[in-house]
Amino acid sequence: MIKYAFRFAIILLGMLQACQQSGNDKSEENDKENIISSGKIPISEIEAGIKAYIDAETSKNDGFFLVNDERGDFKLKLVRVHTEYLSNLGPNKFFACVDLADEKGDVYDVDFFMEGEPGNMSVTETSLHKLNGRPYYTWKQVVDKTWRRVPVEKSTNDLMGIVEGEDAFEFYYQAKLPKITTSAKVWIPLAQSDDYQKVSYTLEKLPGKHRVLDEKEYGNKILLLELSPQDSEHEISIVYEVTRKEKGPYEEKGTDMQKYLEPNLLMPIGGRFSEIANEAIKGKENDNKLVQARALYDYIIDNMRYMKFGEYGTGNSVLACDSKTGNCTEFHSFFISLARSIDIPARFSIGASIPSERNEGGIDGYHCWAEFYAEGKWWPVDISEGNKYTALATYYFGRHPANRIELSQGRDLRVEPGPSTGPINFLAYPLMEVEGEAAYPLTTFSFQRKN
């Protein structure tokens, strides 16, 4: 046990309890505001002080902030300062929680203790509190009223939907066609292997004639079925063998970044999106794109509600902006519109999330997510999950768990032959077209975990 004792003001009681959780739990916001307001030094000055210190140290060390800890030496870059945890501990004594990322993209929550006048603060102690949202220690007040760090022996995320490391499973993609009275076509995504998922599949049941199309803009493979009335109410069945790794920030060569800065049909940029994005990064205009992307991520978590109400599930950024509600498609479409509006490349993917708490059974539909580009890497984010599970908000900024399968990437997908209705908005469920009108077969996903 690390037995450093600090005789803090009683203000720390609430602050340290809050800091054990991720920084977007709205149920605690009023308490945090009361804690902050009791200090004598404005929080903005404490924030400026810690940022100035980190900037100065970063400039001296080839663009990295160095942390020496019992776990090793770390070269880090600023992601954000937790303004909700900045606190006055007493005369010219302060506390700050700061997120910094290493070269691999792991995000560390670092605790800072500072002394001095605003604008001339020195750091008296630095310690690594969390890794990707998982705490190394927690705080406990002992008999003499001092606070001590207590190591966390075991902290896992599996009960909150996350499989870390690697997962392996069979994924069953099944659909039932409606009654067909004339010719029809169906477009279905085919998952592909990449650096993070290895897939093979068996086309078990495919009515009609079929062929595989190449979608060239994003590199998707799409299965086309050409159907006749004799295929009415037949089943489609595809069985995938999947091994997938947890995904963190990664480099990618030869990417055309410009296409990830352009608008899509339902993801416009500029105008109101520029205004919202610039307001969200206010005070961070001169910070790096990683800091700015985190500000957009926090803005959406703080301002949107996960609700399947009204016209949801289309990934329409304008509707998301108006209603501040939606499912994963609205959350990530809104984020992409905001990011692209301030020159942060961002992109969309869709597939399914595999339950972590059981080893077989049904899956509650598709799931989508996003990535943005900053500091030479693509950073995975899952904002709707970060919104639903605020304790994992830090994890989902820069991580996708292993228990998922990606079916397709991108928006406004174009293939030949394609639907007469135009580009495909996104593709997870089968898209069926009958005489120029879209139809949607009844689709179910299920799985069986291996081992």
pLDDT of 308 above 90: no
The CATH number fitting domain 159-451, selected from 3.40.640.10, 3.10.620.30, 3.40.50.970, 3.90.1310.10 = 3.10.620.30
pLDDT of 1 above 80: no
Q: Which of 41, 38, 17, 10 is nearest to 115 (CA)?
A: 41
Q: Kindly state the tokens that stand for 423.
A: 């580009």
| Percent above pLDDT 90 for the chain | 62
Average pLDDT of the segment spanning 256-265: 97
pLDDT of amino acid 16 = 38
Tell me which DSSP letter residue 37 carries. H
Residue 196 contacts by C-beta under 8 Å, 6 or more apart in sequence? 244, 245, 247
- Tens-place pLDDT, residues 25-63: 443 333 333 333 344 577 778 888 888 889 999 999 999
String of DSSP letters for 153-187:
S----GGGT---SEEEEEEEEEEE----SS-EEEE
pLDDT of 14 above 60: no
Domain boundaries, the chain: 12-155, 159-451
- The position carrying tokens 């500091």 is 375
Tell me which DSSP letter residue 229 carries. G
28 by DSSP, 3-state: which? helix
pLDDT band at 93 (very low <50, low <70, confident <90, very high): confident
String of DSSP letters for 371-438:
EEEETTEEEEE-HHHHHH-GGGTTTTBS-B-SSEEEEEE-SSB--SS--TT-SBS--SSPEEEETTEE
For β-strands 325-326 and 305-306, DSSP reports them as parallel
Q: Kindly state the tokens that stand for 130.
A: 């969390």
pLDDT band at 204 (very low <50, low <70, confident <90, very high): very high
Q: Kindly state the tokens that stand for 268.
A: 């416009």
| 440/443 Cα distance (integer angstroms) | 8
Residue 246 contacts by C-beta under 8 Å, 6 or more apart in sequence? 163, 164, 165, 166, 399, 400, 401, 402
pLDDT of amino acid 70 = 79
- Tens-place pLDDT, residues 147-194: 677 776 655 565 467 899 999 999 999 999 999 999 999 999 999 999
CA distances from 77 to 24, 42, 67 (A): 21, 25, 11
pLDDT of 4 above 50: no
pLDDT of amino acid 189 = 98
pTM for this model (two decimals) = 0.78
- Tens-place pLDDT, residues 213-237: 999 999 999 999 999 999 999 999 9
pLDDT of amino acid 22 = 38
pLDDT band at 310 (very low <50, low <70, confident <90, very high): confident
CA distances from 436 to 59, 186, 280, 431 (A): 60, 12, 42, 12
pLDDT of amino acid 438 = 86
Long-range contacts of 90-98 (CB under 8 A, 24+ apart): 90/8, 90/9, 92/116, 92/117, 94/41, 94/46, 94/49, 94/50, 94/121, 95/8, 95/12, 95/15, 96/46, 96/47, 96/50, 97/19, 97/23, 97/129, 98/50, 98/54
